[in-house]
Structure 1
Amino acid sequence: MSTSPLPHVLYRADIVRKGEQLAAQTHDIAMYTLMERAGQAVFTHLCQSYPQATQVLVCCGGGNNGGDGYVVARLAKEAGMAVTLWHSGDATKLCGDAALARDAWLAAGGKIAAVGSSVPTDADIIVDAILGTGLTGTVRPAQQALIETINASTLPVIAIDVPSGLCADSGAQLGAAIVATSTVTFIGVKQGLVTGQAHNYVGELCFAGLEVDATFQQQQSTWVQLIPNDLVTRYLGTRQRTAHKGEHGRVTCFGGDLGMAGAIRLASEACARTGAGLTAVVTQPDNVLSIVAARPEIMAKGWFEKAHEIQQQRDWSDVVVLGPGLGTQDWGKALYFHLADYEKKLVVDADGLNLLALSPDYKNNRIITPHPGEAARLLGCTVAEIEADRYAAVRQLQQKYGGVVVLKGAGTLVDDGQYCYVCRAGNPGMATGGMGDVLSGVIGALLAQKLSLIEAAQLGVWLHSYAADLCAQEGERGMLASDLFPYIRQLVNAR
């Protein structure tokens, strides 16, 4: 039993718990057989990843997650490894399949040791089977102490199904959580493993279907999916040899109040680099020279707050990107409200979102791209509440504001009200000024090339994040938003 590539569909933990039983019944398999397969998958991963390991510490808790740990311990012992097994709580209270796994461990000559205050000095690796996917409240003190003991060691940790202390549905840390080197999850990938705080705890995410995953996916539905890696070939076909610039869309980027010319410059160049036919900027007059001098292909115009000039630019544009460097002073507010009733495709970011929060409206022709702070202002809540359940937050934003919502951050989410898509690309080097401006320009260019809102949002997020991953091969620290441009161009031309 080995791991396999991650499926593109993601599930809530309760759906997996119920669905695995139905899948097992369909295959006429006992649930204990699935537990044995889960333990075998983890042990196989352990042996493949750490072939030199001879001393294993397995930390078990109550429930079936602990039962999986007992299976791993027994398999390791039978393979000749020295195994120490800690059980958090009263092992005699295990019931059902977990009790069968405990008894099989004891029958194989294994022992249940008291939980120590420090990891044994001779251990090579730790297996985390303390808490499973059913955890909803805060981790209890005894389990928190064990988690802290494990995290204080320098040993690699394999988490079974989900790192103990991490919410399998939201990715939120519930008081304390195991920092795993790798996590082996089963049957259906839990949606909390790929967004938000989960990135600090999951490590390498591995999947084992236990030979029932295909049936499980047929029987269970979900609204959460991973963004696939083949969207460039799916959405951006080869251009005709007779193509001209008018066929690839006209985008105007509005923004760049005094002192913020860089934001609108980044957005407009990202738009051009992603393949828009014509890219224009409407900005503060003082910004025009610097933009044109740096990138003469951008048609930059200064706006002196004359309404007819905005109307002309609206009419010319196929797509509007509104917000990078816009500011929230009188100039930015006037520009924003001149575009509030724009009926073509629209991307709103940065200060455009802050102004939207002051005057909320619902539009189905719009993509909004908030980071957690902007999302909190749009929903009138705290950043902590956004990050506590990013899936709920992105759906609330979509229901309130319409169109498509991109909730940025680790494991960026894209929601159109029907499905939510998760991006697994990206890295901490992206935590720097201007990255969001580049994303808004990328999405604007894709809209101009006749992609739908959801197609442009998905592909734009993936292009932006994967370009950053390519850039990070030279190091994450010190990455600039403009460093992504050559990689974006490379990716949109990939076949």
Structure 2
Amino acid sequence: MSIESLDHQEHRGRPLYSAEQVRELDRRTIAAGIDGFALMQRAAMAAWQSLRAHWPGARSITVLCGGGNNGGDGHVLAALAAAEGLAVQRILLKAVDELTGDARRAAEMATAAGVGTEPWRPGLALRGELVVDALLGTGLGGEVQGAIREAIADVNESGLPVLAIDIPSGLHADTGAVLGDAVLATRTVTFIGDKLGLHTGAAARHVGELDFRALGVDAEEQADLLPAARLLDAGLIGAWLPPRQRDAHKGDFGHVLVLGGAPGFGGAALLAAEACARLGAGKTSLATAPEHVTASLVRRPEVMVHGLRGATDLGELIGNAEVLVVGPGLGQGSWGQGMLQAALQADRPLVADADALNLLASRWPDEARDQWILTPHPGEAARLLGTSAAEVEADRPAAARELQARRGGVVILKGAGTLVAGPSGLAVCPFGNPGMASGGMGDALSGILGGLLAQGLPLEAAARLGVLVHALAADMAAGDIGERGLLAGDLASYAQLLINPGTGEDHAAATR
């Protein structure tokens, strides 16, 4: 069952669009009676308001203007700033007499307002207290080159705060990849429709604080223009996990079996099992190598641990579970291969992570099914797709969609701006932090997913909600103890707070 057929409309999340879709929204808005130059003025005013809200004390700015309509926005903003009494340095990457259409009209408006111009040259001093990036818009398709690339480098090397108009120049609006070089913005103000590329991949480093301004356009009124993705909304937690019935018992909330922890690799499976239990599974079992049993009993005695020498020892364990999680600490040897084969032979919802993914790539290259969630990082996704991690990162949305199309079920492509690709489309997680770059985070996620599936959530809903809870838990933990030294084992207790809205007043805001 798809997430759309179980829709919580108020928590679907903000729609995200491709660059071409936003251009189409522009065309339709203009066709509906709003003059193109009036729309440019509206965008520039929104950018100016965003600038003043963030830097209210600024008395001087440098505006770098390119040759297109993005540059036109910069020219109009320069005029607005001058009218407010700010000193404006307007640097041109294309001379006014070479401009056409609305961009030229905007440049001439700024000149009439008394704003001077300087042609850009290497080493030109940027005299403003902050820089406005109006070099390139969302139409960029290839790598930035020549003067534009040199100007981007100068902006980044200046150390000045930067407001990017619509998108940091050099960032791909659809993929979030850097095309040669890209502006490192402090704040980005984007218009009409929010862009997918502002929320995944390198965008995490380049966008800064994002300010979305719709400019009076309701993109969702265009029923035929389906969003490229949706931004996950923290409100999904309460919508999908309502309070439990007072007469509930453990049988109502499912039984998960975690298969992992080959000899010498027990920690990952323990992390997954604990996260699963904390997320509310009625029963959590762990099938692991015998040497890890004692550690499991000491760490979390509520988990029913079974020491297995191999898959032949599984007996009725798989048959007794409603959900399987396979991969954490699995290894790629005979122990892990046997466990994965047993899991694949069972007719159960399945979460596959870590070495389960590597084994799927090497030994089950054609395996596809509707009842699983695959959770690769870019390297694992590359192995599954037969490509490189760099190619995956160059177009994360396309990689996630392609992997889901090949393998079925739901695919979670981890990383900055984690993507969830399923039958209903693509979702993007706007939460998480660099503290998550430590071992075991993926194991915690796989356990979270198993716990949610056990409670009866549809596959796609569990994937979206699991990614959301995992990232928000990491943000809460980082807020308390900092990003450096954040451990995967820290997340389970914060995740428990998140899935019980109203518990812990200090963290109530995280669930709103």
TM-score bracket, shorter-length normalisation: over 0.9
8 Å contact 1:19–1:219 — kept in the other structure?
no
Establish whether residue 112 from structure 1 lines up as the match of residue 117 from structure 2: yes
- Equivalent position of 1:348 in the other structure: 352
Identity of paired residues, percent?
Answer: 47
Between 209-218 and 359-368, report the one with greater CA deviation: 209-218
- Whole-angstrom CA distance in 2 between matches of 1:421 and 1:215: 16
Counterpart selection for 1:19 from 19, 25, 41: 25
Counterpart selection for 1:8 from 11, 14, 30: 14
- Equivalent position of 1:432 in the other structure: 438
Q: TM-score, normalised by structure 1?
A: 0.96
- Whole-angstrom CA distance in 2 between matches of 1:217 and 1:172: 28
Letter in 1 for 2:318: R
Counterpart selection for 2:418 from 412, 416, 422: 412
Give the CA deviation at 1:486.
1.6
- Equivalent position of 2:319 in the other structure: 315
- Equivalent position of 2:381 in the other structure: 375
- Whole-angstrom CA distance in 1 between matches of 2:100 and 2:273: 61
Written as runs of structure 1 = structure 2, the 5 A alignment for 1:249-398 is 249-305=254-310, 307=312, 309-358=313-362, 359-360=364-365, 361-398=367-404
Establish whether residue 99 from structure 1 lines up as the match of residue 124 from structure 2: no
Q: TM-score, normalised by structure 2?
A: 0.93
Is the alpha carbon distance of 1:216 and 1:176 closer, same or farther for their aligned partners in structure 2, counting shifts above 3 Å?
farther
8 Å contact 1:119–1:153 — kept in the other structure?
no
Written as runs of structure 1 = structure 2, the 5 A alignment for 1:448-467 is 448-467=454-473
Counterpart selection for 1:176 from 167, 177, 181: 181
- Whole-angstrom CA distance in 2 between matches of 1:342 and 1:383: 31
8 Å contact 1:447–1:456 — kept in the other structure?
yes
Between 115-124 and 261-270, report the one with greater CA deviation: 115-124
Is the alpha carbon distance of 1:317 and 1:7 closer, same or farther for their aligned partners in structure 2, counting shifts above 3 Å?
closer
Written as runs of structure 1 = structure 2, the 5 A alignment for 1:75-224 is 75-118=80-123, 120=125, 122-214=127-219, 217-218=222-223, 220-224=225-229
- Equivalent position of 2:5 in the other structure: none
1:300 aligned counterpart, secondary structure: strand
8 Å contact 2:96–2:108 — kept in the other structure?
no
Is the alpha carbon distance of 1:214 and 1:399 closer, same or farther for their aligned partners in structure 2, counting shifts above 3 Å?
closer
2:261 aligned counterpart, secondary structure: coil
Give the CA deviation at 1:303.
1.1
Give the CA deviation at 1:337.
1.1
Give the CA deviation at 1:109.
1.7
8 Å contact 1:159–1:183 — kept in the other structure?
yes
- Whole-angstrom CA distance in 2 between matches of 1:216 and 1:36: 23
Give the CA deviation at 1:23.
2.0
Aligned residues: 488
Give the CA deviation at 1:289.
1.1
**Deviations 1:294-343, CA, capped at 9 Å, x for gaps:** 11111110112253x42411110010000000000111111111222221
- Whole-angstrom CA distance in 1 between matches of 2:217 and 2:224: 11
Establish whether residue 441 from structure 1 lines up as the match of residue 444 from structure 2: no
8 Å contact 1:61–1:131 — kept in the other structure?
yes
- Equivalent position of 1:484 in the other structure: 491
- Equivalent position of 1:3 in the other structure: none
Give the CA deviation at 1:112.
1.6
- Whole-angstrom CA distance in 1 between matches of 2:385 and 2:224: 35
- Whole-angstrom CA distance in 1 between matches of 2:302 and 2:132: 56
8 Å contact 2:16–2:227 — kept in the other structure?
yes
8 Å contact 2:161–2:185 — kept in the other structure?
yes
Give the CA deviation at 1:475.
1.0
Give the CA deviation at 1:220.
2.4
- Whole-angstrom CA distance in 2 between matches of 1:346 and 1:393: 21
2:164 aligned counterpart, secondary structure: strand
- Whole-angstrom CA distance in 1 between matches of 2:346 and 2:83: 69
2:393 aligned counterpart, secondary structure: helix
Between 229-238 and 193-202, report the one with greater CA deviation: 229-238
8 Å contact 1:71–1:101 — kept in the other structure?
yes
- Equivalent position of 1:226 in the other structure: 231
Between 328-337 and 364-373, report the one with greater CA deviation: 328-337
**Deviations 1:236-293, CA, capped at 9 Å, x for gaps:** 1111111111111100000101121100000000000000010000011111111112
- Whole-angstrom CA distance in 2 between matches of 1:107 and 1:215: 38
8 Å contact 2:164–2:189 — kept in the other structure?
yes
Name the Cα RMSD after superposition.
Answer: 1.4
Letter in 1 for 2:267: G
Give the CA deviation at 1:122.
4.1
1:176 aligned counterpart, secondary structure: coil
Is the alpha carbon distance of 1:471 and 1:217 closer, same or farther for their aligned partners in structure 2, counting shifts above 3 Å?
farther
Is the alpha carbon distance of 1:121 and 1:201 closer, same or farther for their aligned partners in structure 2, counting shifts above 3 Å?
closer
- Whole-angstrom CA distance in 2 between matches of 1:122 and 1:142: 19
Letter in 2 for 1:91: V
1:242 aligned counterpart, secondary structure: coil
8 Å contact 1:187–1:216 — kept in the other structure?
no
Gaps of 5+ in 2: 1-11, 503-512
1:444 aligned counterpart, secondary structure: helix
Give the CA deviation at 1:117.
3.6
Give the CA deviation at 1:485.
1.7
- Whole-angstrom CA distance in 1 between matches of 2:127 and 2:120: 16
Give the CA deviation at 1:121.
6.1
